[in-house]
Amino acid sequence: MSGLDVEKIKRDSRRLRGSVAEGLEDPVTGALAEADTVITKFHGIYQQDDRDTRNERREARLEPAYQFMIRVRVPGGVINPKQWQALDELAGSVANGTLRLTTRQAVQFHGVAKEDLRTLMRGIDAVLMDSLAACGDVNRNVMCHVQPEASEVHAQALQWAQRLSAHLTPKTGAWREIWIDGKKVADSETEPEAEPLYGETYLPRKFKIGVAIPPINDVDIFSQDLGFIAIEEEGRLVGFNVTVGGGLGCTHGEPKTFPRLGDVIGFIPPGQLLELAETVVTIQRDFGDRKERKHARFKYTIEDRGLDWLRQELQGRLQATLEPARAFEFIHSGDRYGWTEAVDGSWQLNLFILSGRLFPQQRQGLRVLIDEGVVADVRLTPNQNLVLAGVSASHRARVEETLAAHGLDEHRQASPVRLNAMACVALPTCGLAMAEAERYLPDLVRRIEEMAARHGVEEQPITVRISGCPNGCSRPYLAEIGLVGRAPGRYNLYLGAGFDGSRLNRLALDNANEADILEYLDGAFAHFAAGREPGEHFGNFLVRAGFIAPAHHGRDVNL
């Protein structure tokens, strides 16, 4: 993929059409043309192959077992019952039987064959969902804190997240034309439709936006290209602090690439949110690096040009000026499990789903509750978990009993370490994985749980996140214990991030095997058990005690 001229492919694609429709009709291969695999990302579709069978098939002189991953966009993570039923049915009929909840509140199908792509897309379209802009060089799924019914402010913040998503979605008709109705909006003879915000080459790279509501930083606001921190005064949403330039992906051995925390640059009232977001996106469109994709994220534009430059650029383009940032405090970047009562008197239950993977038995349990009508909507959390919302008090017992019968009650008994653990997908579907992540997480967590118990700190919540490569899809550089894949069975170990998502961690062990990682962690736990202050979190302790030096800047993370 690195050899492809992505800018040219975008420009020549006639607003994201390429030859995707023709490729779907080709029965000779299960794959699409290489340039079209760039285009389909903008449609939320990734061409993959089953890496578990790759060598075997190569030896048998077969083409790789091509299959597709489809990411459905779910702004703010809210899914209604009809939509859930459709997703569930498609998972069983055209995907690999699982639904995968992601770290950005979207849903993924894995293992879909080329000939089933249209069936899947029509299935989601029928319930008013789509996958346009779930991937690609555009604004992606907009994240939002997940319990909007907890207060008026939550409900308003969710609405803003959904409006942001709608405002920044590409205007191309290609998604509908290719996947749904085949009606040509543009062909090689006619001019394609206008794409007023993005233009013909879209953004230099992906762009991510999140909305956080203090004191919970579940969306990891400092990892977003553009973040909005809701500011509440006397129970009212008065506006948002704005963060810019977060991002986590990097490449092993390339110090020019690094994770970066977003900077808070000021405050805006709610009415300026859409204009501000659009303006930031156009600044990145105009100034982001279009030559080197590894240097094309907004964080590098800011790093290279500086925040003063950004402020000036904003001033020149915006009607209004940013006010000074208001005070806020985060305490936690995870989910709050269990039942909470909403302002309307209904109840919501935050479940734990290990690595966001819903297997058939778990899907079935959720289906029972949805079909019985006891859940008003399903919400996906930014930590790969799930909230059942709008449950009446009289249905709580029924919900609990059904969940327990289907292996969905881990939130009641799992350890604090397990409840704060995440892994990216990695093998066998991710083409970029260097090591296992999702499939390794249960073993790793078990070992850390045993270790914590040996040191008498098993009641401490500690964030553990594994990514199969340095792209950091599980946000491992913001975990108190972060593992990042180097090679099969080998990881970099990072320690010392803040529990509230406001400090990056730092490299503790380079390219280590499991035994070395566990031995190192054992030492860290021994110190923690002996020296922590009441209420002190693991990452904060390791930094305070000098066990690991703090990362003052993203460039320090890999030093």
Token pair, residue 317, equals 């383009």
Which residue's CB is nearer to ligand SF4, number 68 or number 328?
Answer: 68
d(CA 54, CA 441): 23
Question: Does the footprint of ligand SRM cover residue 558 (CB under 6 A)?
Answer: no
**Catalytic site includes residue 250:** no
How many residues does this entry show for the chain?
559
Question: Does the footprint of ligand SRM cover residue 429 (CB under 6 A)?
Answer: yes
Q: Which stretches within 318-433 are classed as H helix?
A: 360-372, 396-405, 410-413, 416-419
Q: 267, 209, 217, 211: which is closest to 238 by C-alpha?
A: 267
Least distance to ligand SRM, CB of residue 233, Å:
28
Which residues contact ligand SF4 (rule: CB under 6 A)? Answer: 424-426, 430, 432-433, 437, 467-469, 471-473
Contact 434, 486 (CB under 8 A): yes
Which residue's CB is nearer to ligand SF4, number 406 or number 465?
Answer: 465
What phi and psi, each to the nearest 5 degrees, are found at residue 46? -115, 130
**Catalytic site includes residue 140:** yes
Question: Does the footprint of ligand SRM cover residue 47 (CB under 6 A)?
Answer: no
Residues ≥6 apart with Cβ < 8 Å to 385: 101, 335, 337, 350, 351, 352, 353, 356
Question: Does the footprint of ligand SRM cover residue 381 (CB under 6 A)?
Answer: no
d(CA 249, CA 216): 23
Question: Does the footprint of ligand SRM cover residue 37 (CB under 6 A)?
Answer: no
CA angle 386, 409, 362 (to 5 degrees): 65
SS3 20: helix
Question: Does the footprint of ligand SRM cover residue 70 (CB under 6 A)?
Answer: no
Contact 202, 15 (CB under 8 A): no
Residue of 206, 285, 299, 506 marked active site: 206
Instruction: Please pick, from the candidates 223, 284, 381, 385, the single residue that binds ligand SRM as defined by CB under 6 A.
Output: 223
Residue of 135, 144, 250, 430 marked active site: 430
CA angle 324, 309, 314 (to 5 degrees): 60
d(CA 112, CA 385): 23
Question: Does the footprint of ligand SRM cover residue 249 (CB under 6 A)?
Answer: yes
Question: Does the footprint of ligand SRM cover residue 352 (CB under 6 A)?
Answer: no
**Catalytic site includes residue 183:** no
Instruction: Please pick, from the candidates 182, 407, 431, 523, the single residue that binds ligand SRM as defined by CB under 6 A.
Output: 431
Which residue's CB is nearer to ligand SRM, number 121 or number 473?
Answer: 473
Contact partner at residue 297 from ligand SF4, ligand SRM, none, CB < 5 to 8 Å by partner kind: ligand SRM
Question: Does the footprint of ligand SRM cover residue 471 (CB under 6 A)?
Answer: yes
Residue of 135, 144, 250, 473 marked active site: 473
Question: Does the footprint of ligand SRM cover residue 217 (CB under 6 A)?
Answer: no
Least distance to ligand SRM, CB of residue 72, Å:
9
d(CA 491, CA 424): 14
| DSSP bridge partners of 260 | 247
Judged by the rule CB under 6 A, the positions of this chain that interact with ligand SRM are: 46, 48, 69, 71, 102-104, 106, 108, 140-141, 206, 208, 223, 247-249, 297, 356, 384, 424-425, 429-432, 471-475
Active-site positions read 71, 140, 206, 208, 424, 430, 469, 473
